[in-house]
Chain A
Amino acid sequence: MSNDTALLEPVKEERTAPNRGLFVSSFAGRDDLPAWFREQQRRGWSEFSNLPNPTRKDQAWRFSNVDALDLRPFITGGASSDDERIEILERSIPLHAQTGRLVFADDHLLERDALPESLRQAGVIFQPLERALIEHEDLVRKHFMAQPATLGSAKFTALHSAHVRAGAFVYVPRGVEVEVPIEVFHWLSRDNSAVFPHLLLVADAMSKVTVIEHFRSLNEKTYGFACGVNDLIAGRGASVKYVCAQQWNEKVTALQINATAVERDASAMSLNLHLGGAYSRFESLSRLVGEGARSDLLAVAVAHGEQEFDARTLQDHACPHTTSDLLYKNALSDRVRTTFGGLIRVEPHAHFTDAYQTVRNLLLSDDAEANSMPGLEILADNVKCSHGATSGQVDEEEMFYLRSRGIPPIVAQQLVVTGFLDEVIARLSDKVIGDHLRDLIAKKFRRARS
């Protein structure tokens, strides 16, 4: 416990050098880590300190509950007890038996299942970030937080880079196909704990890989702060799938910042399931940087109580003949708020672009609020772009039909909502992962009913 450090040290009076020297790196004294990395941490802290807090007047934070971002209570560096560790490991069950797995709790590595020998022989790397920084320094350095944070959270990206230590580095060499998904678990166990999960996934040309991140809380009552970054790079002709099952408890403040770069003829598909968090913000930047690139952006949020989900996306077409397709669906109960702010941007010369964006909100209560800001910025020609945003409620006829078969209203509603959300999950075309996500959604409904 003596390792506890307040996430935000109180600001001292000296105005000449605000916050400098206050930052205690999680890796302080770790001279074995590369100097550039430690310098990047210091820079991150200074940027975080200097950037202003977001306000709702910022376009990127319009409709957001920025008050949720009071970070003063949170601490870093704490570790879970032995009993807690045992429980966490027991509960970190992978979807596939023979796969690589990393388990972190409060940003400490608890366990590591290495990849099968055949994949290691083929050159696939799956390591904790800390180790990869030493063993694969050049490869990590080339891609580490190299993509811009443009969707509002520059300040929190800086905070992440100041504090990051837990996370995974995945590298798949040219032409290698990893058939089973690689899985990473991040847990919050201690009260007021702050974590900074990191994922860097680099898929080289013509390779194929699926990575799943699980975000979970050990119990339902502890407060926490999660500020994660995942960077996905799909090299030429590569196929990358990324799934995030976000199940923090409903006290947690969570920020997840994604950047995906898709190169020539490559495809990236990401599906983010948002279930937990008091305030959960998700920023996703998908950059299509080579001809023939395709990106699918999928998300499902199931919100109840007072939860707030805040999603900001950018489909950035920087090359001709590229395709992106976004489908986000939200089911809103009780007094929840959801916000979607998304932009399709077709840069000059990115001709022959196909870009689609669809957001559907299903309102299940009178006090639920859905905000949608779908946007288009088209600077090229020969494009096919469209967006659609709808907000509506369960069809009364459909409900009546189900009830006429003797199904109680709450079950009928759950069936209808499940069907509504399933379109997104089905797009993943992966039965094992899809069923897992369906199961998590069903569990959330059961919790809501009890």
Chain B
Amino acid sequence: MATETEKSAVDFDRSIGDFHYDVAYNFDAGTGLNEGVVNYISDVKAEPEWVHEFRLKALKTFQSKPMPTHWASADLNAIDFDKIRYYLAQGQRPTRSWDEVPEDVKRTFERLGIPEQERRFLAGVEAQFDSEAVYSNIKKAVGEQGVIFVGSTEGLKEHPEIFRKWFGKVIPTGDNKFSALNSAVFSGGSFIYVPPGVKVKHPLQAYFRINAENFGQFERTLIIVDEGAELTYMEGCTAPKFNTATLHSAVVELVAMPGAKIQYITVQNWSANVFNLVTKRGLAHEQSEIKWIDCNIGSRLTMKYPGVILKGRKSRGEVLSIALANNGQHQDTGAKMVHAADETTSNIISKSISIGTGRATYRGLVHVPKHLKHCRNNTECDALLINSSSRTDTYPAITVRGTGNSVQHEASVSQVSAEQIFYMQQRGLSEGQAMSLSVNGFVNDLVRQFPMEYSVELKRLIELEMEGSVG
């Protein structure tokens, strides 16, 4: 197909991500989680005392909260927090030039094609290797407009007046057990500030790479887009396949000031040993717009429900998500839309595909409190089952008050039928090609809404995942 001739924007191919190099770490907080680990992280980062205290408080919150297995997957109990390494780094300061990135780390990103993509179409790149960013750079023209794009540590030290104002405000430490964990041991991630009226033309990208075994990656991202400004941010992630569980638990907070627009694109392609437990939420002020585009392909268990708090009048929130649960995987994803002002609108479109013994779960929350006028929500979730052992669940929760608001939720489950496959085979397509084409047809109308670089690659990745799923 023609798509294969186009060059990939972001590497989705699991086989490309499945490698790792031995790297010498200069900083290692050891195995297990306690106050000492938190002190160590704060210490090597030479953080201000308020951050240190914030971390210690979060650790207590984390320890006091039970695993949410009363509603979530019991597979969470397989995470052994005492066997995880919480901080591994070669150093704390990212370089501005690929030439200065240590050779043993640089070859990883070169193999993933990051420097090349940066040249081609990105406005800036941050590359995180285990706990710290090794490279962080923004194109000169973008930097000159006043756009800040640095790591979280640098952000909190160099720009405390903006950082402190919003840090932990969109997602409080105690929001859930894993946001508390992240708050205690966070390292890496991006801090971005776009000044009023600046429309960043090309996307900023972060690439998160886990290299070490028995490791937990806890990046923390805070993005503030000021009045009338616009930003597209993309993140990609991979890890090698290890036999032991790896934990990725990020917190991402977005703040869209009046009239701002943020588009946050994630393509998660973790290997099948990764627990991916991520909290993402945006705060939308008046007439602003926050859009999450979320593609979950890999991991062992993903729990992620990007949300928007629609705080300002006429603000708009959107979540477009695609989840593909292959053999043994559980994609537990969804969206949260909290309407808190008049004339706010939200849109959720979720499509999931379950292959083999894969399980896809949709959880949604839509809240329209009373005395709001002219709020609208539209939710559509469609699930496609490929094999008889595949599973899908949908659990939305919708609260609406008042006469001025309307919500609608629709969900459907369908299956690629044997007759459909036979029909396509009769036209000369192999069973695998037929299946792949059906699946692409299922996601097509949603993928069309994604930026071009993504839709092309996403389709290619789905095809790769479909291989061997038939029979």
Contacts and interface: CB of A to CB of B under 8 A. Distances in A.
A binds B: yes
Given A376-B393, A378-B391, A384-B414, A368 B409 contact: no
B30 interface: no
A186 B24 CA distance: 78
Interface in A360-415: 361, 363-394
A351 interface: yes
A306 to B, nearest CB: 14
A389 B403 CA distance: 16
Contact of A371 (B397, B402, B406): B397
Contact of A373 (B397, B401, B405, B414): B397
Of A57, A371, A378, A382, most B-chain CB atoms within 10 Å: A378
Contact of A377 (B71, B388, B393, B412): B393
Contacts of A390: 406-409
B99 interface: no
A374 B401 contact: no
Given A383-B415, A388-B409, A374 B394 contact: yes
Interface string B116-156: 00000000000000000000000000000000000000000
Nearest to B386: A381
A385 B413 contact: yes
A63 interface: yes
A388 B408 contact: yes
B407 to A, nearest CB: 5
A412 to B, nearest CB: 15
Contact of A366 (B396, B401, B406, B410): B401
Contacts of B390: 381
Nearest to B392: A378
B404 interface: yes
Nearest to B372: A366
B170 interface: no
A302 B406 CA distance: 19
B403 A386 contact: no
A150 interface: no
Of B401, B405, B410, B415, most A-chain CB atoms within 10 Å: B401
A353 B390 CA distance: 15
Contacts of A391: 398, 400, 405-408
A410 B71 CA distance: 43
A62 interface: yes
A59 interface: yes
B395 interface: yes
Contacts of A389: 396, 398, 407-409
Nearest to B401: A369
Contacts of A384: 413-414
A351 B410 contact: no
A361 B400 CA distance: 9
Contacts of B388: 351, 380-381
Contacts of A393: 403-406
B417 interface: yes
Nearest to A386: B412
B449 interface: no
B387 interface: yes
Contact of B413 (A57, A371, A372, A376): A376
Contact of B410 (A367, A375, A388): A388
Interface in B256-282: none
A206 B56 CA distance: 69
Nearest to B359: A379
Contacts of A370: 398-401
Contacts of B391: 377-379
Given A63-B399, A363-B400, A382-B415, A369 B405 contact: no
B403 A387 contact: no
A369 B398 contact: no
B70 interface: yes
A386 B410 contact: yes
Given A371-B397, A375-B394, A386-B410, A366 B385 contact: no
Contact of B411 (A63, A363, A374): A374
A372 B406 contact: no
B396 A386 contact: no
Contacts of B413: 376, 378, 383-386
Of B71, B385, B390, B411, most A-chain CB atoms within 10 Å: B411
A364 B400 CA distance: 12
A321 to B, nearest CB: 15
A416 to B, nearest CB: 13
B415 A367 contact: no
Contacts of B402: 363, 365-368
Contact of A365 (B400, B403, B409): B403
B201 interface: no
B65 interface: no
Given A376-B413, A381-B388, A391-B406, A363 B393 contact: no
Interface in A32-67: 57, 59, 62-63
B398 A373 contact: yes
Given A363-B401, A378-B385, A393-B406, A373 B395 contact: yes
B107 interface: no
Given A59-B70, A381-B415, A388-B408, A374 B403 contact: no
Contact of B397 (A62, A363, A365): A62
Interface in A298-349: none
A381 B358 CA distance: 13
B392 to A, nearest CB: 5
A269 B397 CA distance: 27
A374 B363 CA distance: 10
Contacts of B396: 372-375, 389
A349 B16 CA distance: 38
B107 to A, nearest CB: 45
A199 B152 CA distance: 64
Contacts of A369: 370, 399-401
A382 to B, nearest CB: 6
B383 interface: yes
A367 B70 contact: no
A283 B113 CA distance: 56
Nearest to A358: B410
Contacts of A368: 401-403
Given A373-B395, A373-B398, A376-B393, A366 B371 contact: yes
B14 to A, nearest CB: 26
A225 to B, nearest CB: 27
A50 B447 CA distance: 53
Nearest to A59: B71
Contacts of B370: 366-367, 369
A368 to B, nearest CB: 6
A428 to B, nearest CB: 26
Nearest to A370: B400
Contacts of B393: 375-378
A369 B405 CA distance: 11
Contacts of B408: 388-392
A371 B70 CA distance: 21
A387 B407 CA distance: 14
Nearest to B402: A366
A351 B387 CA distance: 12
A60 B417 CA distance: 35
The 5 closest A-B pairs by CB, nearest first: A392-B406, A391-B400, A376-B394, A372-B398, A386-B412
Given A378-B413, A380-B388, 10 more contacts: A63-B397, A361-B400, A363-B400, A366-B370, A367-B401, A369-B401, A379-B391, A386-B412, A387-B410, A392-B406
17 contacts: A363-B401, A366-B370, A366-B401, A367-B401, A371-B398, A371-B400, A372-B399, A372-B409, A375-B394, A376-B393, A381-B388, A381-B415, A386-B410, A386-B411, A386-B412, A387-B409, A390-B407
